[in-house]
Amino acid sequence: MSKLENLKAELKLLNAEYAKIKTLPPAERGPFGRELNAKKQRLLAAIARAEADAESAEVAPIDISAPAAPNQPFPTLPRGTKHPLMTELDHIIDIYSRMGFDVMESGQLDDEFHMFDSLNFPEGHPARDGYDTFRTAENFIPPAHTSTMQHRALKRYQHRLAEGGQIAVVIPGRVFRNEDADATHEHTFYQCEGVLVSRTATMSDMFGVLKHFFEAYYGESLKIKTQPGYFPFTEPSAELLIEKPASLAGKGDGWLEMLGCGMIHPNVLKTAGIDPTLYRGYAWGGGIDRLVMLKYQLDDIRYFESAKLDFLEAF
């Protein structure tokens, strides 16, 4: 039995002694009880000390004699790698930052207002169906595109217009669609949105910005072309295509659709409190995964969300 257990056993016996008091003649009861109480106080104090000792005894002492070898190289441990999409995203943001764009990040849950109303989707309009994503039980929406951030970008930076400047923001983010996955379609992917508003913005300014971006990203000069598109939040709307980069086995005859774009619809500006008779803007949005797949000649978009280590470690 440990010291602590002995003391506790003693306390038990002592407590039993109290029952004797009522068997004693009245004159002896007082002194007997006082003596028991005094003993009990001493025992309780001893138990408290023994408990404290037992607790500190369990802590292994620090080995102050452990060898120190500050000049030895650290052992090499297996390390995680940055996800290739995040590495490319840094590169993309870097290009736009050098062109003067601010950067915002989109969230992974949004609401009906930012997903549809602020983007001039009329209620019940069939264009909403094209952006049919998932919904939570509380009616939040994992966004189908980064355009859900346009309204916030316009609000956050509109003081720049009053100061005589312009709004210029890019917004990368993760987006979700109710899509059957195959080599070129994934339910979860990344997009980058761009928004620019000034007194003089034009569609051709935007094409210049985007041409410059793609050339910087692929490191070579590229031809671009556009074709008409339809988006409720832009008027007119277009799709932008780039010539397949020569370094990626392009022969100057393959065109790749990279993003949707257009002049921001006056209703979108108005909803954000910007007067469309004074200011005009352009916006674009396109997939990041496609951009990266092209750069690295990847043939299956599903690798990105697959958590396949051999794929991730190849970067």
b/e per residue 27-65 (b: at least 16 CB within 10 A)? eeeeeeeeebeeeeeebeebbeebeeeeeeeeeeeeeee
Peptide bond into 236 cis (omega under 30): yes
Smallest distance, ligand DAH to C-beta of residue 91, A: 21
Amino acid letter for position 126: P
Asked whether the beta carbons of 285 and 147 are under 8 A apart, the reply is yes
145 near ligand DAH, rule: CB under 6 A: yes
- Judged on CB neighbours under 10 Å (0-12, 13-18, 19+), 272 is buried
Which of the ranges 7-15, 26-34, 227-235, 249-257 carries the binding residues for ligand DAH, by CB under 6 A? 227-235
Select 85 or 261, whichever has its Cβ closest to ligand DAH: 261
Which of the residues 165 through 184 are near ligand DAH (CB under 6 A)? none
114 near ligand DAH, rule: CB under 6 A: no
118 near ligand DAH, rule: CB under 6 A: no
Smallest distance, ligand DAH to C-beta of residue 97, A: 19
Which of the residues 23 through 82 are near ligand DAH (CB under 6 A)? none
Select 133 or 158, whichever has its Cβ closest to ligand DAH: 133
Which of the residues 233 through 292 are near ligand DAH (CB under 6 A)? 233-234, 237, 260-262, 283-285
Select 217 or 233, whichever has its Cβ closest to ligand DAH: 233
Non-local CB neighbours of 117 within 8 Å, separated by 6+ positions: 123, 271
| Helix, strand, coil share of the chain (percent; to 5) | 45, 20, 35
Select 30 or 236, whichever has its Cβ closest to ligand DAH: 236
193 near ligand DAH, rule: CB under 6 A: yes
Retrieve residue 252's tokens: 């100057």
Site for ligand DAH, rule CB under 6 A = 145, 147, 193, 231, 233-234, 237, 260-262, 283-285
